[in-house]
Structure 1
Amino acid sequence: MAADAGLRAVVLTAVEGRPLYGMTLPSDEERRVFRAVGELAARIHASPLPPAAPGTAPVVPYAKLGRHLEGAAAASEAG
Structure 2
Amino acid sequence: MTTLQQIEMAIKQLPESEIRKLLTWLQTYVDDRWDQQIKADLESGKLDNLISKVEADIAANQVRDLNEVLDNP
TM-score clears 0.5: no
Q: Which has the higher contact order (CA 8 A, sep 6+)?
A: 1
**Larger-Rg structure:** 2
Band the TM-score falls in, shorter-chain normalisation: 0.3 to 0.5
Which structure has the highest strand share of the two?
1
